[in-house]
Amino acid sequence: MRNQSTISPATEGPRFCARRAVCCVLCYSVLYAGTSSLVGQEPKSKSEPLAKCDLQVLSAANQGAPMERRASQRIAKPLANYQRARGIDWRVPKTVDADNANVRCLLMCPGGPFVIDVNIYIDDQPFRKKREQTILQAQETANARQKAAKEDAQSDNEQRSEDTLDDGAEADDSAEDGDEEIEPTESKTDKEEVGSSPPQIERLVRYIANQPDPVTSGEARWLLSQWTPGPVLLELRDGFAAERTSLAPIWTVLDGDVDGELAENEISEAEVLLMSADTNGDESIDVKELIQFVPKEAKNTLRSRGPLRLLVTLGDHTDWDDLHWDLSDYYALDGTSEGLPASSSLIEQLDTNNNGKWDDAETQRLSEVAPHLAISVRLGGRETGLSVDAATPEIKTLNPEFHATDNAVVISLGQCHLELAAAQQEQNGQSTTDQVGIGAVLDGYPIMRMLDQNNDRKLSMREIKSINACLSAFDEDKDGRVTSSELAIPVRMNITLGPHVDRMLATPAPPIFIPFSESEEDQPEAPRWFVTMDINKDGDLSRSEFLGTRDQFRELDANGDGLLSAKEAAQFNPEGD
C-alpha cells in the first residue's frame, strides 16, 4: 500500500526550486527574426487567440521506417509507444459524447502541474465524431443487410412453394428442351459492392450483421480499436524519451567540479571554456563537438528532472489515487520553499474541506477546475493550425510570454518553456483517419535553446559571447551562482492526426530561440566583401576572417566585441557596393 499524502501550498521538494526564473519574467521582450511576441497583450476580441501557429507537415521522408512490412510490424511497431490500460489492452470508453472536442490534460512540469484543455477537431468536427459516425453507419448498413437477407429468404421460400406446384410441368419442359444451362440467381446482399469501405469497417458491418443480438456502440467501439488498430485518442506511453531530460552538454562543460551549480569563477570562464570546445577551428560549435568535449567522467551528471508520467489525460478512466501519489512523489513534498508557483491557487480550488492541503480524495476535482491554458487544434479540414485561446489569471502571475513561430508556440512558464505544436501527413481534401495522437516529453539542451538565436543547432562566436548574459538571466536571486534547478527546462507537447506523435518527439527538436535580452536592430544587407570573408557563414567576421589590417578591424568594431557585424561593415565599403 502507498502511504496517503497531502500537497500543501507551503511545501515543495528538493527536486525543484519554485523561484521563478528571471529570464522568463524580465528579459523576453523582443523576439529574434522570424518570431512574434505577445508579451502582456490581451486578445483584442474573444475570438482572437493569445498565440497561434500552422501545422507541421509530416512527409514520407520524416515519418520513420517504411510501412511496407508484414502486417504484424505495421500494427505493432507504430503503436508500441502508446499507452495501454494495464499495459495490455487499449483503453476504450464505453460511452462517448461525439460532440465533445475536449481532452483535459494534466502536464506535470517543473515547478508545478498545469491543467490544460485541448479542443481537437478533424475535418472541422469534434475529433470523436468521425468514428462515432462510422459506428452508426456500420450499424445501419448491417441492419439493412439483415433486413435484405430476411426479404431474400422469404422470397426464396415463396419461390420454392411455387416450384413445388410446377414440378411436374417443369420436368416435362426440361425433358423436351434438353440440358439447357440455368443461370444462378443472386441475392440483394450478394449484389452489394464488396470493398467499397475500408477492410476494418466492412469487417465490423459483417460482424454486426451476423450477430443474433444487437451490437451496442460500446462493443463496436472496442472492436474497431482492435481492428483499426487503436482507439480514437492515442496517448504517448509514460517515460517516452525520458533519457533526454539530462542532456545538457553546455552545463556539463561549465560545471567543472560537478557540484550541480555554476559558481562565479565558472561563470566568468564560461566563454573561454566554450571556445575551447571548437575542436575543428571553424569558430563555431555544434552539438557533436559539445558532446565530444564533455569529459567521460562528467557525462550525465545533470540529474533527471522529469517524471515518468509527464502528460496525463483526465476522465472516467483516471486512477485518482495513483495520480495523487505520482504528484506527491514527483514534487517531493517533504521539503520547504515558497510553494509551487503554478499550484497555490489550484490547491485552494481543490481544498473542499478547507484544511489548507490538497488531500488525495480531492485530486478528482482536477476534472472540474478551470484550466490554466485552453488550446485548440484543427486537423485535416480546410482551416488547420494550433492556437492558444485562453490563460487563467494564475498563469498570468508567472508573467508568461507567448512566442509564435511558423509551426510552434512557446510559452515561458517559470521553470519550464512549454513548446506546443501539431502535425499531420501531407494530404489533399479531408483526412482518411479518425485517430489523434497526443504526448509530451522533457527535451534537453536548456542553455543551447537560449543561445542558439538562429536555430541552426550550433553556436557562432557571437552566440558564444552571449553566454554570460544568458547565465545572468538564469540567476534569478542574483547571488552570482546558477543552480541546476534554476534552468528553465523545455517541455514539448504535440498533437498529431494519426499515430505520429511518437515520431515527432523521438529526437530533440531544433531549439526555438527564446530571447534573454533585447535583440539588435535588423541587420542591413552585408556588402559583398563581407560575405566573401565570412568563411563559416555565421553572419559575423572574426579577426582571423577579416583580411584587412588590425587597425581597420578595430576601427570598424564599434562596440569592441571582437566581431564585425553586417551593420558595422556597412560603414566601410571601399568597393561601393
- Residue 227 CA to residue 168 CA, distance in Å, equals 53
Together in a domain, 532 and 468: no
- pLDDT, residue 472, reads 82
- In terms of pLDDT, which residue wins out, 472 or 131? 131
Show which of 461, 490, 505 is a domain's final residue.
Answer: 505
Q: 403 in a domain, yes or no?
A: yes
Show which of 231, 261, 291 is a domain's final residue.
Answer: 231
The answer to whether the CB of 404 falls within 8 A of the CB of 52 is yes
Together in a domain, 348 and 486: yes
Backbone angles phi, psi at 250, to 5 degrees: -65, -45
Together in a domain, 410 and 448: yes
Together in a domain, 18 and 146: no
Query: Poorest-confidence range of 18-32, 270-284, 298-312, 459-473?
Result: 18-32
Q: 576 in a domain, yes or no?
A: no
Residue 128 has pLDDT above 90, yes or no: yes
Backbone angles phi, psi at 399, to 5 degrees: 55, 60
Query: Poorest-confidence range of 17-31, 103-117, 469-483, 546-560?
Result: 17-31
Together in a domain, 396 and 308: yes
pLDDT digits (tens, 9 = 90+) for 522-565: 567 778 888 888 777 777 788 888 888 888 888 887 777 778 78
Q: 389 in a domain, yes or no?
A: yes
- Residue 111 CA to residue 203 CA, distance in Å, equals 49
Mean pLDDT of 351-379: 88
- pLDDT, residue 21, reads 34
Confidence grade of residue 40 (pLDDT, cut at 50, 70, 90): very low
Together in a domain, 45 and 99: yes
- pLDDT, residue 516, reads 58
Q: Which domain holds residue 546?
A: 528-569
In the chain, how many domains are there?
3
- Residue 465 CA to residue 453 CA, distance in Å, equals 12
Q: 279 in a domain, yes or no?
A: no
Together in a domain, 343 and 430: yes
- pLDDT, residue 166, reads 62
Helix/strand/coil (H/E/C) assignment for every residue in 457-508:
CEEEHHHHHCHHHHHHHHCCCCCCCEEHHHCCEEEEEEEEEECCHHHHHCCC
Between helix 217-227 and helix 199-209 the angle, nearest 10°, is 140
Residue in 122, 132, 139 with CA at minimum distance from that of residue 97: 132
530 vs 152, 535, 543, 544, CA distance in Å? 85, 10, 12, 13
Mean pLDDT of 133-138: 90
Query: Grid cell 513561430 — which residue?
Result: 405
Interacting residues of 172 by C-beta distance below 8 A, sequence separation 6+: none
- pLDDT, residue 508, reads 79
Q: 291 in a domain, yes or no?
A: no
**For the chain, what percent of residues have pLDDT higher than 90?**
19
- In terms of pLDDT, which residue wins out, 512 or 382? 382
Residue 371 has pLDDT above 60, yes or no: yes
Q: 135 in a domain, yes or no?
A: yes
Together in a domain, 76 and 141: no
Together in a domain, 147 and 106: no
Confidence grade of residue 505 (pLDDT, cut at 50, 70, 90): very high
Residue 238 has pLDDT above 80, yes or no: yes
- In terms of pLDDT, which residue wins out, 287 or 10? 287
Q: 290 in a domain, yes or no?
A: no
Together in a domain, 118 and 198: no
Which run of H or of E encompasses 401? strand 401-404
Together in a domain, 390 and 500: yes
pLDDT digits (tens, 9 = 90+) for 254-278: 887 878 888 888 888 888 888 888 8
Residue 65 has pLDDT above 50, yes or no: no
Q: 388 in a domain, yes or no?
A: yes
**For the chain, what percent of residues have pLDDT higher than 70?**
73
With residues binned 3-state (H G I as helix, E B as strand, rest as coil), the percentages for the chain, rounded to 5, are 35, 20, 45
- pLDDT, residue 253, reads 84
Together in a domain, 118 and 138: no
pLDDT digits (tens, 9 = 90+) for 342-358: 566 777 788 888 877 78
Q: CATH number for the domain including 552?
A: 1.10.238.10
- In terms of pLDDT, which residue wins out, 170 or 346? 346
